[in-house]
Amino acid sequence: MRRRHVLPLLAAPLAAPLAAPALTGRASAQGSQGRPITFVVPYAAGGGTDIVARELAPILMEGLGQNVIVENRGGAAGHVGATSVARARPDGTTLLFAVSTNIVVNPHLQRNDRVNLSTALTPVTKASSYQYVLVIDPKVPAKNLQELIAAGKRPNAGFTFSSGGVGSNNHLAGILFAEAAGVEMEHISYRGTAPALQDVVGGRVTMNFSSPPPAVPLARDGRLRALAVTGDHRLPSLPDVPTLSEAGLPGIVILGWHGIFAPAGTPEAELSRLEAAANKAIRDPRFARSLERDGLEVAAEQPRGDFGRAIREEYEFWGRKVRELDLKAE
C-alpha cells in the first residue's frame, strides 16, 4: 500500500484558524500598518526555512508598504522561536515563518511548556510545499540508495543521521526512512538544518534528509551526494536524482510545507490584511521562480479557515504518533 506522509511527514492534514478573540482599543484600530514587521524564522540562518523566508520577505514588504525584517531564533527544533512569537504582542508586527512540525509536533514534545503552539498561534497562510533530499557524505561508499541500505544493514554499520532537533521535519523523515528500509541509525540533533548539513559535509554524520534549498547547491558542488528525493516526482533542480520509489524503496512519499502564523488574538481585520498581502507575494512570479530554483513549489491557495482546520487534524494525528514513537524532547 502506498503511504503518503505530508510533513511533518506522516501527515494527516493540519489545525482551524487557531484563532482567538479580537483585540479592542488602539492596537486593534492601528494594526501593524506603518511599523516594521519582524519575520521570525525559528532555525539557524542558512537552512531551508530561512532561505525561503528571505526570498519572500522583500516581495511581501513591497505589498505591505512596511519593512519586513527576518530574524533567526533557533533552538529546540524550532520551539524557541515559535514560542517567542506566540508570546508577542498580537498586533501583526511579529509573525512566524514556520514548518508544520513547529505547530503540530513540538507541542506534543514540549509537555512541560505552558504555551501550546497549536492554540497560541493563528495561521495566516500556507506559503510553500516541498519534498526532501536524502544526502550523504560523499566518502560513504554508496553510489545509490540500494547500496546505502545494504551497507546500513551490515553489522556495526554505525550509520548516523542529523536533524534540526527532536521532532523536526528531517528527524521525522529519518525515522520513517529507517523504518521503511530496515536500517538502524543513530540520530544526532542540531539547532537547525544548516549546521546539521555541515557535519554531513565534514564527514562526521552519514546522512541528512534536508529540505531542498540548502542541499541542492551542496549536491551540485559535489560536497554532498544526493541519492533520492522523497516526493512522487523528481526535482527540476536535481533531475538526475530519483525518487525513493524509483530508487527501490516504494510506498514512501514524504512532503513538507512552510506557513505564516501570527500570535493568537491578532485582530481579524489585521489577519485578513496580512493574508491578502502574503498570498499576493507568494504568487508573485519572482517568488515562484526562486522556489523552483530551490526545489520547492508554491502552495495551493487555501482559505485561512481551511488551513486552520487542516492544522487541527494534523495536530491530533501527531499527538497519537508521538506517543507511538515514544518521542521525547531533548
Nearest of 212, 264, 260 to residue 236 by alpha carbon: 212
Q: How far is CA 7 from CA 23, 62, 99, 131, in A?
A: 32, 30, 8, 9
Dmax (CA) for the chain in angstroms is 66
Stronger pLDDT, 44 or 121, i.e. the higher one = 121
Q: Which residue has cell 501527515?
A: 11
Backbone angles phi, psi at 256, to 5 degrees: -140, 175
Please check whether residue 219 is in contact with residue 135, taking contact to mean a CB–CB distance below 8 angstroms.
yes
**What angle, 0 to 180 degrees and rounded to 10, lies between the N-to-C axes of helices 48-64 and 212-220?**
120
13 pLDDT higher than 50: no
16 pLDDT higher than 50: no
Mean pLDDT of 203-209: 96
19 pLDDT higher than 80: no
Predicted confidence at residue 330, as pLDDT, reads: 62
Whole-model pTM: value is 0.79
pLDDT tens-digit profile of 247-300? 999 888 888 899 999 999 999 999 999 999 999 999 999 999 999 888 899 998
Predicted confidence at residue 32, as pLDDT, reads: 64
Position 1 confidence tier, pLDDT thresholds 50, 70, 90: very low
What does the mean pLDDT of the chain come to?
87
Predicted confidence at residue 77, as pLDDT, reads: 79
2 pLDDT higher than 70: no
